[in-house]
Amino acid sequence: MRRQISCYLMDPTKNMTILVETPVPEASFPFVAQKLMELVPEAEQVGFVHRGESDSACDSGMGTAFPTLRMAGGEFCGNASMSAAVYYALREGISEGTILLDVSGAADPVEVRIRKAGDSAGADDVGSAADKPDEIWYGRVHMPKPLSISEERFSDGSILPVVRFEGIAHVIIDGTDESAKSMPVAAMKQDADLAGSLAKAWCEYLQADAVGLMFLNETHDEMRPLVYVPAAGTCIWESSCASGTTAAGVYLAQKAGLTDVAAGAVRYQLRQPGGVLEIEVTPEGDYYLMGQVAVCVRQEVMVEYDLL
């Protein structure tokens, strides 16, 4: 049966994200996400939002329920979390605040601070992203802590650092590291098919729910992310990746021996195809991701799916 779905198109550092506000059965998430990405080709991922049972989406206390974000593949996504916080702020009619979210792939509620930058056209207007000025928000996400960071030997002989989070593992391919210069690792950045096949193989080898390949150039503070999510059936060169940026920050801080210093937090700005994301690593082992979100458009689309 064809059903009408209400959704927002968000632009967190060009990691174009569709947020679905119409209730959809969880079993239908991957199918509906696939259909939406076919209808909106610029989209790189899809999340499903639902307001919690607490009195306010901006409740900073530990209530019994929080606004939720469920990614189509069940993974955690920092960019989508920032986008969802902006969505709930729009629903609450606030321009600045701290929002706690219950996010897939995160064991604890995720804290997101958001602030609107100036005024623009109403985000609830229906229309194309091209004919309306974007509404810009700044965000700061308290990212989940990594479960582990270790070196893994892959079947091609590469020995690469892997940073594991709930729901996703990120392989750091450091262009300054000799192992990362080996074949076929060196060829992956130029060969999309090879990169995709290795991402799938490495995801299975790591027994991860999802895997990211973070092509890092520390010398130029640049990174190119590839993310494979089996449950969603997607393998995409993303314009930016928040959890991958966090993983790179974990790796760089450990590499530099900065994680236990008492002098203060360290920050890394990583330029990605869609723009710059910044990660702050504190001596206490907390990670804060800074970026921005543009609210592009709210729209109604028709998708055919069954209520499973």
List, for residues 54-109, the tens digit of each pLDDT value: 444 443 332 336 899 999 999 999 999 999 999 999 999 999 999 999 999 999 99
Reply yes or no on whether the pLDDT at 5 is more than 90. yes
Chain segment 101-148, per-residue pLDDT in tens = 999 999 999 999 999 997 444 433 323 333 344 689 999 999 999 999
Note the pLDDT tens digit of each residue in 204-255. Answer: 999 999 999 999 999 999 999 999 999 999 999 999 999 999 999 999 998 8
**Residue type (1 letter), 288:** Y
The rounded distance, in Å, linking the Cα atoms of 205 and 203 is 5
Run of H or E including 294: strand 287-304
Taking residue 287's Cβ as centre, other Cβ atoms within 10 Å add up to 23
CA distance 4 to 10: 19
d(C-alpha 21, C-alpha 8), whole Å: 8
Amino acid making up residue 83: S
Rounded to whole angstroms, the maximal C-alpha distance in the chain is 60
Distance CA 227, CA 254 (A): 23
pLDDT in tens, 254-269: 888 865 555 578 999 9
Give residue 123's pLDDT.
Answer: 37
Domains and CATH numbers, the chain: 2-143+292-304 (3.10.310.10), 148-285 (3.10.310)
- pLDDT at residue 51, rounded to an integer: 82
For residue 291, give the nearest of 10, 9, 7 by alpha carbon. Answer: 10
Q: What is the pLDDT of residue 245?
A: 98
Q: Are 135 and 120 in contact (CB under 8 A)?
A: yes
Average pLDDT over residues 17-43: 94
Overall average pLDDT of the 9-37 stretch: 95
Within 8 A by CB and 6+ apart from 277, the residues are: 13, 240, 241, 242, 245, 269, 270, 289, 290, 291
Q: Between 150 and 3, where is the model more confident?
A: 150
pLDDT digits (tens, 9 = 90+) for 163-196: 999 989 999 999 866 655 554 555 666 677 888 8
